[in-house]
Every structure is written in C-alpha cells, then in structure tokens.
Amino acid sequence: MTSMSDPRASTTTYDAPRRAIAGFALDTLVGRSRSFARDARQVLDANPHPRRIEGIEHVPADGVFIVVMNHYNRPGLRPYHCAMAISAAIAERHPGSPEIRWAFTSEYRDRGIGPIPIPPALFRWVFARMARVYDFVALPRRETLVMSHAVALHRLVRHLESAPVGLTPEGLLAADTLVEPPDGAGRLLALLARNGAPLLPVAAWEDGTTLVVRFGEPFRPSERQERTPADLDRRVRDDVMVAIGRLLPRRYWGAYHDRIVRSGGVQG
C-alpha cells in the first residue's frame, strides 16, 4: 500500500504562480468574484507535472449534479489541487456551463507556522472570504454551530438549483486511502440528491508522478426506506464511498476494501 510515508510515493509539488497568488489575495480582500475553473487552469498550466483525466464522458452535459470526490492528500498535493483538476476538466469539456460550487471546511485546527499556532478564527475569516470570492460554501466543523450548519446547507441546496456542487465526504479525515466519512455525511448527500440530482463519483490518486482523475458513472441513491436516520446515513455513505473506491486502484481502498470487493471490484 502506498502511503504518505512510503519512500516510493510521489514528491512532486504543485505551486501557484506569483501573479495568480497576488490577484487572488487582492480579490479576497476586496470580495471581488473570481472563476475557480479559470484560476485552476492557470495553476495547473504553471505546473509541468503529468496528469491524466479518465471517464470525462460520464460528466452530464446539462443539468445539475453532485460531485463526490475522495480526500486525496499529501504534502505538495492537496485536495484542492484535485478539485482544481476536476473543475478545469469539466469546464473544458462543457464550456459555458455553470461551474462547480465546492463545499469545504470552514477552518483548520492545530496548524501553525513553526512553533507559532495559527488561530482557527483566522482560518474561518480567510475561508469565509474565499467562499465569497468563488461562491463556494464553507461548512462549519463544530457541531455546536447548529445555525451556521443550517445556513451552509441552505446555500448548498440553493446552489444546486442552478449549478453542480462538489464535496469530499471524508472531510479532513483521509490522507491517501479511503476512510469512513463522519456521521451525517450520508444524510447530507441524501438531502442534496432528493430532488433528483445525480451523484457523480470522482477518484483522484497518483500513478508515480502522474495525478490521475477518474470520473465514474452518475447514480442516484436508492429510494428504499430505512428504519432510522442512522441507517440512511450509513447506507448512503457506503454507496458513495464504494462508488468512489471502485474507480481507485486496490491499494487505495483502505477501510472500504471488503465492501468494494463485495460490490464487484474496480469499475471499468
């Protein structure tokens, strides 16, 4: 199994060009809107690392959908780089279509610059500004912020009326192999999909130094009734993570290995 500590793992680093950083910083401060797909293409074009896009034909040509992506993460290649590759690929495939409105965490914790900790409140401020610039949704991490969660969910539902949305069900939990998403992730996805928007599974991983993004076939959660909300949550989480896992090489299946095997293994 390849891991972040495996010496065979890729050490390529994705950097943002200084001009892009300067423009983004200015627009973040003043609250001016930007195109994430255009910025993504600028960042990707500035990095010479090989990339491979597979299954792009599965992306719906019209209508809204919900991108569900694994949280592939290592130093030098973060989930937002994977989201950039997805947004840029879809924008190139369907120019003029609404851009994906990504949902992401509202804050980081236990981060710092050397020995100096960075307050979570600073992350919350910065991420809120980022959400405004790209018309994204920052999802509060603390369960006590019930009202903030409700507002964020309402924004996701509103976005989905006219544009695709994107999430990583695992949240901040994963590194390179799949892990169980936090409780509630399945109920959130079921709620978003209840008006008919299909789930579009996308897997991101590395083949040597090549970043691979593979799109799977869209699907909708089954409509069978569950006995409890917890049962619904578990079933939708499993459906989504198995769909993502079937797009990944076996070494990345992690906590879903047995469930992916029972589902029939890798999707062609």
Where do the H-state alpha helices sit in 160-248? 185-193, 229-245
| Ranges of each domain in the chain | 18-263
Residue 3 has pLDDT above 70, yes or no: no
Residue 4 has pLDDT above 50, yes or no: no
Instruction: Name residues whose C-beta falls within 8 Å of residue 55's C-beta, 6 or more positions apart in sequence.
Output: 214, 215, 216, 247
DSSP structure class, residue 60: -
Q: Is this prediction's pTM over 0.95?
A: no
Residue 123 has pLDDT above 90, yes or no: no
Closest-CA residue to 121 (of 146, 141, 103): 141
Quote the pLDDT of residue 1. 38
**Strand 66-69, strand 101-105: pairing:** unpaired
- What are 75-122's pLDDT values in tens digits? 899 999 999 999 999 999 999 999 999 998 765 666 656 677 777 777
Contact 267, 217 (CB under 8 A): yes
Write out the two tokens for 196: 């008919």
Residue 7 has pLDDT above 60, yes or no: no
The mean per-residue pLDDT over the stretch 132-143 comes to: 80
Quote the pLDDT of residue 149. 65
Contacts of range 193-198, beta carbons closer than 8 Å, 24 or more positions apart: 193/66, 193/220, 193/221, 195/160, 196/220, 197/63, 197/64, 197/65, 197/66, 197/160, 198/60, 198/65, 198/66
